[in-house]
Amino acid sequence: MIWSATDIIAAVNGCTAGGADWSVNGISIDSRNVNAGDLFIAIKGARHDGHDHISQATESGAVAVLVSRPIEADIPSIMVDDTLAALNQLALASRQRHHGTRIAITGSVGKTGTRMLVAKALAAYGKTHFSEGNLNNYIGAPLSLARMPQDAAFAVFECGMNRAGELSPLSRYIAPDIAVITKISDSHMAHFTSLNDIAMAKAEIFDGLTAGNSAGIALINSSDHFTPSLADKAYQAGAKQVLSFGLSDLAEFQIISVQRHSEGLNITVDIRGQMTTFSLGMIASHWAQAGVIALGIVDALGLPLEPAITALASARDLPGRGERSKLIWRQHDSSISLTLIDDSYNASPLSMISALESLAESVAEYGDENAAPDATPDADPDANRGRRVAILGDMLELGESAVERHQALAPIIEASGISILITVGALMEHLNAAITSPTITAIHAQNADAAMALLPSLLEHNDVILVKGSNGIRLSKLIDALKSSSSKTNGDSHAA
């Protein structure tokens, strides 16, 4: 149980019908994702009204509903004037009754991966709650906070924004003990005029550091151009301490080296004078930053590093965020072995470059002893690498520099050893036109379905395929199509 009926009613100041002899194990705002024992909050949005889906929520096991108009369903209900406002009130009540440590994470890139590794590390020390999926906006963050168990020792929240002014209220609701900015980049330039404006908007994550009994620690990237101004903003907001991570010698939590191997990364870091090495089951080198942030938070909380290091060793990529799968792809009467890197959930210039660098160093992952060609001691060490294939979708929300930022990927692709490039979307067509290398077969597709139709005539045995683009391009459809026409091999993926 995370909430009793009495506590919910008091938090939202609602009127009840159907009694108050019930409690809930979870909270949902999407009738498709209701679990047995949930409270369903019927939120009215621009396109959908949750009140229209109460029957579906009830059928899925909701034990009560929070509504803003009378309903006919035979289920306990709480009536309020505004269900979204009530969600915020419930989130605030959740924070006020919580006595554990809360961490809020934002940044232009790396929020989700950092949240994942921080939560994994902290779970080694006690019960840890964390925001799930993409619940990081003005609805998702309060929902994650309202779902927080009262007895959680740690809670990790991802906070996103599109415009200035959006992070400050989220931070004030959460009242984090530690607020993290992963990186400042031009991922949101569609809504800003400069990187400095983005940095100042991200700095709003510090606004809640003085709320409650917060420890007041700000954690920022030592390699950012905006590090000094972010530190100033943190102190102005009331931070008691500002710490940094990254490659700089000045960082309290410094990355010394990153070594990639077939199963992931070995990362050596200096944690305030304590040199240590930890492992991650991820291939892309950008995960090193998320890992050092996790260890930095552990250190900042005065906890020993060893349990976190052990926990991080079992971390794996997530679907849509770098997950690697070994597939036997079946087409008509034949089948070929493929290595699929699913990074289809989102893309920015920085994350695209990191993914391409990882692809350049990737080797085919053979599903069984018959899938790989024979190798001899005198064979070319690159003979079994397989071709590199990149299927890249538009990077959205880049504003006026969007075309230029897509074209700028051309020299990186030409230096990465990619054999086949399939670009998807109107912006990626500019990248396609910028490719001049005769060693790259560059083809453009208008959408994910058109890209999928190209693959039977292009893919070969042992190809390593990167699929990456902004979520709005829907390259996840291509991932689903590839997997549905394939069989996975033993040890088929690096997913958590």
SS3 content of the chain, % helix, strand, coil (to 5): 35, 25, 40
Domain range for 23 is 3-81
Pick the more confident residue, 373 or 324. 324
**CATH code assigned at 285:** 3.40.1190.10
Kindly provide the b/e burial profile for residues 114-144, where b requires at least 16 CB atoms within 10 angstroms of the residue's own CB.
bbbbbbbbbbbbeebbbbeeebbbbbbbbbb
235 and 358 both lie in a single domain: no
Q: Is residue 128 part of a domain?
A: yes
Q: Are 168 and 191 in contact (CB under 8 A)?
A: no
pLDDT at residue 285, rounded to an integer: 86
Domain boundary among 312, 332, 359: 312
Sort 307 into a burial class: Cβ within 10 Å, 0-12 / 13-18 / 19+.
Answer: middle
Q: Is residue 342 part of a domain?
A: yes
Band of pLDDT at residue 213, cut at 50, 70 and 90: low
Given a cut of 70, whether residue 347 has pLDDT beyond it is yes
Tens of pLDDT along 59-115? 999 999 999 999 988 999 999 999 999 999 999 999 999 999 999 999 998 999 999
**Cα 458 from Cα 481, distance rounded (Å):** 16
Segment 387-411 mean pLDDT: 95
**Cα 40 from Cα 51, distance rounded (Å):** 10
108 and 156 both lie in a single domain: yes
Q: Is residue 290 part of a domain?
A: yes
Q: Is residue 206 part of a domain?
A: yes
Q: Is residue 372 part of a domain?
A: yes
Domain boundary among 81, 106, 125: 81
Segment 10-26 mean pLDDT: 95
Q: Is residue 88 part of a domain?
A: no
State how many domains the chain has.
3
Instruction: Give the predicted TM-score (pTM) of the model.
Output: 0.86
| Averaged confidence pLDDT in the chain | 91
Segment 390-419 mean pLDDT: 95
337 and 302 both lie in a single domain: no
pLDDT at residue 118, rounded to an integer: 99
307 and 327 both lie in a single domain: no
% of residues, the chain, pLDDT over 70: 93
Tens of pLDDT along 145-191? 999 999 999 999 999 998 999 999 999 999 999 999 999 988 767 78
**CATH code assigned at 22:** 3.40.1390.10
Query: Nearest Cα to 91, choosing from 175, 14, 177?
Result: 175
126 and 209 both lie in a single domain: yes
pLDDT at residue 297, rounded to an integer: 98
Q: Is residue 317 part of a domain?
A: no
**Cα 42 from Cα 60, distance rounded (Å):** 14
Pick the more confident residue, 148 or 260. 148
**Cα 143 from Cα 27, distance rounded (Å):** 8
337 and 461 both lie in a single domain: yes
Segment 117-126 mean pLDDT: 99
Band of pLDDT at residue 129, cut at 50, 70 and 90: very high
Q: C-alpha angle with apex 336: 317 to 447, nearest 5 degrees?
A: 65
438 and 390 both lie in a single domain: yes
Q: Among 214-218, 237-241, 443-447, 473-477, whose mean pLDDT is lowest?
A: 214-218
Segment 337-354 mean pLDDT: 92
250 and 103 both lie in a single domain: yes
Band of pLDDT at residue 214, cut at 50, 70 and 90: low
Q: Among 188-202, 459-473, 476-490, whose mean pLDDT is lowest?
A: 476-490
269 and 327 both lie in a single domain: no
Domain boundary among 291, 312, 333: 312
442 and 301 both lie in a single domain: no
Q: Are 226 and 199 in contact (CB under 8 A)?
A: yes
**Cα 238 from Cα 179, distance rounded (Å):** 12
Q: Is residue 148 part of a domain?
A: yes
Band of pLDDT at residue 358, cut at 50, 70 and 90: confident
End-to-end alpha carbon distance in the chain: 26
**CATH code assigned at 475:** 3.90.190.20
Amino acid at 331: Q
For every residue of 255-288, DSSP letters joined together read EEEEEEETTEEEEEEEETTEEEEEEEB--STTHH
362 and 232 both lie in a single domain: no
342 and 206 both lie in a single domain: no
